[in-house]
Structure 1
Amino acid sequence: MSKIKVEKAKLPHDLPTTNFQEIYDMEEPYLNNCLISNCTIEREKVEKIEFSQVIFKNVVFNDVSFRNIELTDVTFENCDLSNVDFMGGIIHRVEFKESKMLGINLSDATLGNVLFENCILNLSSYGYSRLKQVQYTNCSLRNADYYECNFKKVGFQQCDINEVNFSGTSLKGIDISSSTFERLSVNLEDLDGCEVSSEQAIGFATMLGLKVKK
C-alpha cells in the first residue's frame, strides 16, 4: 500500500478574513492571501476565476460554476462543493479535507500535487483530465468517472471505489490494493501493471468469467 507524496499548499500564517464578493471590485476575478469562512457562495458563474493562497473553511458552494478555474496553494476544509463545476480547471498544490463533493465536475482539468482526504466524492467527474501526484485518502468515490484520464503517481488509499469508471485510463503503477469495491468499469488492457490485493485479483478473475479454485 503506497502513498503518493503530495507537495502541500504553501500558505502564509494568519491570513486575513475576506468577503468573497470583494473580487468583483477588481477588473479581473482574482483573490489571494485570505481566509474565507462560515459562509455560503451562491449562484455564482465566473469564467477563469483565480484563487492563490486562499483557505476556504466551512463554506457552502451552492449552484456555483467556475469553469477554467485556477487554484494554486489553496485548501478547502469542511466545505460543501457538491455539484460545483470546475471543468477545465488548473489545480496545483490544493488540499480538500473533510469535504462533501458529490457530483463535482473536474472533467478536462489538470490536477498536480492535490490531496483529497476524508472526502465524499461520489458521482464526481474527471473525464479527459490529467492527474499527477494526486492522493485520495479515506474517500468515498462511488460511481466516480475517470473516463480517458491520464494518471501519473495517483494513489487510492483505503477508499471506496465501487462502480468507478476507469474506461480508457491506464492503471499501470496505480495501487488500489487497500481500497474496496464490488465492481469496476475498466478495460482489460488498462489493468496491466495495476497493483491489487489477492482478494481483488480473484474478483477480477471472476469478472472475466474465470472460475478460481480454492
Structure 2
Amino acid sequence: MSEITKPSIDIDIEIENFNQNFDPAHPYIRATHIKNCEIKNLDIDGIEFENTIFSHVTFKDVSFEKIFLRDVQFNSCDLSLANFNQTTMQRVEFNNCQLTGITMADGRLQNVLFNQCNLRLAGLGYTMKKYVHFIECLLNEVDFYHSKWSNIFFEKCELTGANLSNTKLKGINLSDSSFDYLTVRTADLYGCIVNPIQAQQLSALLGLIIK
C-alpha cells in the first residue's frame, strides 16, 4: 500500500464557538483548532480551511460548495448530510467521523484518509481521487459513479450496495473488504483484485454458473 502524505498542521488559536468567531465576508480560516461546537445554518460557496483541526464538531444544515481544504483534520466530527460538492481536498484526514449522506460530487481529493468513518449513502460521484485510503469504513450504498481513481485503497471496509458504475477498477484491491452485492459494469471489473468468495458474488454479472 502506498503511503499518503499526512496533513502538516501548526495551530495558533483554539475556538469553541465557530459561529460567533466566523466572518462570512472573509470565509478563510487557518492555523485554528475548532472544537466542541456546532457549525450550523451556513450556506457559503468557496470557504477555505487551511492548517486546521476540527474536534467533536457537528455540522448541521451546512452547504459549503467549492470548499477548499488543505492540511485539515476532522476528529470525531458529525458531517452527516453536509454539502461539500466541488470540494478540493489536499492532505486531509477524517478520523472516526459520521459522514452519512455527505455529498462531495465533482470533487478533487488528493492524499485523503477516511479512518473508521461511516459514509453510508454518501455521494462521491464524478470525483477525481489520488492517494485516497478508506480504512475500516462503512461504505454501504455509497455513490462512486463515474470516478477517476489513482492509488485508491480499501482496508477492511463494508461496501454492500456501493455504486461503482463507470469507474475503472483495474488495480483496485477489494479482497480485504466485504460486500453482498455491488452496482458495477462488467467492463469496469477488468483487473479488479477480489478474493474467491467475492469472485463468486460477482460471477452473476458475467453470466457464469458455478457448480
Higher share of residues assigned strand: 2
Count, aligned residues:
209
2: CA distance, partners of 1:129 / 1:107: 6
Identity of matched residues, %: 37
Within 1, Cα distance between the matches of 2:112 and 2:13? 24
Tell me the residue number matched to 2:6.
8
1:53 paired residue among 51, 61, 68: 51
CA deviations over 1:91-116 (Å, ceiling 9, x no partner): 11000000000000010000000000
Alignment partners' CA distance in 2, 1:179 and 1:109: 24
Alignment match of 1:17 (pick from 6, 14, 18): 14
- Higher relative CO (Cα under 8 Å, sequence separation at least 6) belongs to 1
CA displacement 1:129-151 (0-9 Å, x = unmatched): 10000000000000000111101
Query: What CA distance in whole angstroms lies between the structure 2 residues aligned with 1:63 and 1:15?
Result: 28
Is 1:121 paired with 2:142? no
1:90 paired with 2:101, answer: no
Residues 1:80 and 1:144: Cα distance change in structure 2 (over 3 Å): same
Contact 1:206/1:212 (<8 A) preserved: no
Q: Which residue of 2 aligns with 1:110?
A: 108
Cα distance in 2 for residues equivalent to 1:80 and 1:50: 19
2:23 and 2:45 map into 1 onto residues whose CA distance is 13
Residues 4, 154 of structure 1: 8 Å contact kept: no
Structure 2 unmatched runs, 5+ = none
Measure how far apart 1:198 and its partner are: 1.4
Cα shift readout 1:22-67 (whole Å, capped 9, x = no counterpart)? 2307x42100001000000111111100000000000000010000
Q: Which residue does the alignment assign to 1:80?
A: 78
Residue 134 of structure 1 is matched in structure 2 by 132
SS of residue matched to 1:34: strand
> Residues of 1 paired with 2:18 and 2:50: CA distance?
13
What is the letter of the counterpart of residue 193 of structure 1?
G
CA deviation vs aligned residue, 1:122-167 (integer Å, no higher than 9, x gap):
0000111100000000000000001111011101110000000001
Runs of at least 5 residues in structure 1 that lack an aligned partner in the other structure: none
**Partners in 2 of 1:54 and 1:165 — Cα distance?**
32
TM-score where L is the length of structure 2: 0.96
8 Å CA contact 2:57, 2:77 repeated in 1: yes
8 Å CA contact retained: 2:18, 2:38: no
Match of 2:175 in 1: 177
In the alignment, is the contact (CA less than 8 A) between 2:81 and 2:100 conserved in 1?
A: yes
Query: Cα deviation per residue 1:59-92 (whole Å; 9 max; x = unaligned)?
Result: 0000100000000000000000000000001011
User: 1:15: Cα distance to partner?
Assistant: 4.1
Secondary structure class of the residue paired with 1:189: helix
Letter in 2 for 1:24: D
Provide the TM-score with structure 1 as the length reference.
0.94
CA distance in 2 between counterparts of 1:129 and 1:192 reads 20
